[in-house]
Amino acid sequence: MEHISETSETNERPSVARRRVLKAGAWSVPAVAIVGSTPAFAATGDAIAITSVVVSPQAVGALIPTRYINIGNAPTATVTVSGTATAGVQVYVKTGSYTSSNVTASGGTWSVVIPSSVVAGWSDGVHTFTATVASGNKPSVTATQTVIKDTVRPTVLATQATISTNNQTGTISGTKSEAGTVVVSVAGLTMGTYSYASATQWSVTWSGGSNQAYTGSVAVTDDAGNSGVADGFGWPKGATSPVAL
């Protein structure tokens, strides 16, 4: 019978038995505890989340007043980014080239105010925010909420009126520079307020009252709450449709 040898090695590791066995022979080793290993899933680290992004003062007339910076609030607007994190950790917020000072997540919540001196220097466009734990494995999170800065007035034009033969009904149409709300008035009466999710064309139905000359105006307010310069228009009594405005 072939000799079976057993050896045991130790090199700051648990003892592991080694055996040489015949081909197709049965074998076994003593069970030992594995110590000193750290599974990757056991490392959880610190938690962090962003719960709100708020502009103050609010952008009057904006689609979402707390998330827009317009011509009216641009000079004084601040942005407050708030969230939750592991209690006691230090958190900072980054947006563009600006990085805030560290704040403490006291009781598991934190808040960073981005000053007006920084916000005033932002270019028009969409601004995003990332919060990071300042120590340890430094987890970070980017807010789903963004802030939109828009300090350009929209433009609007009335370009054409299609009117009935008796000058009592018709359609007034034109162009505008961006998404927003269009208000059309004819003969001092508001014909309607219409919201458009994109730029380019607008069109409203007009209802008059008698065969006479008409004047009116169209105004536009963009999603940020900026108002454009109104465009006046008109057509004479007996005008032939369509009328260029």
Indicate yes or no: pTM above 0.85: no
Token readout for 92 is 């900072």
Tell me the C-alpha distance between 43 and 8, whole Å: 34
* Sheet of 125-127, strands arranged across: 68-69, 147-149, 125-127
Backbone angles phi, psi at 86, to 5 degrees: -55, 130
Q: Which of 182, 204, 178 is nearest to 193 (CA)?
A: 182
* Ranges of CATH 2.60.40.10 domains, the chain: 48-149, 156-244
Q: What is the CATH number of domain 48-149?
A: 2.60.40.10
Rounded Cα distance between 78 and 139, Å, is 25
pLDDT digits (tens, 9 = 90+) for 33-88: 323 322 222 234 789 999 999 999 999 999 999 999 999 999 999 999 999 999 99
User: How does strand 147-149 pair with strand 68-69?
Assistant: parallel
- Residue 194 predicted with pLDDT over 70: yes
What CA–CA distance (Å, rounded) separates 100 from 110?
Answer: 13
Q: Which two tokens stand for residue 52?
A: 């709100």
Closest CA to 139 of 43, 38, 51: 43
Residue 185: its H or E element? strand 180-186
Per-residue pLDDT averaged across 224-242, rounded?
A: 90
- Angstrom distance (rounded) from CA 119 to CA 92: 17
Each residue of 83-123: pLDDT tens digit?
Answer: 999 999 999 999 999 999 999 999 999 999 999 999 999 99
Give the phi and the psi of residue 46 in degrees, each rounded to 5.
Answer: -90, 150
The CATH architecture annotation of domain 156-244 reads Sandwich (2.60)
**Can you give the pLDDT at residue 25?**
53
| Nearest-angstrom CA–CA distance, 147 and 67 | 5
Neighbours of 6 (CB within 10 A): 9
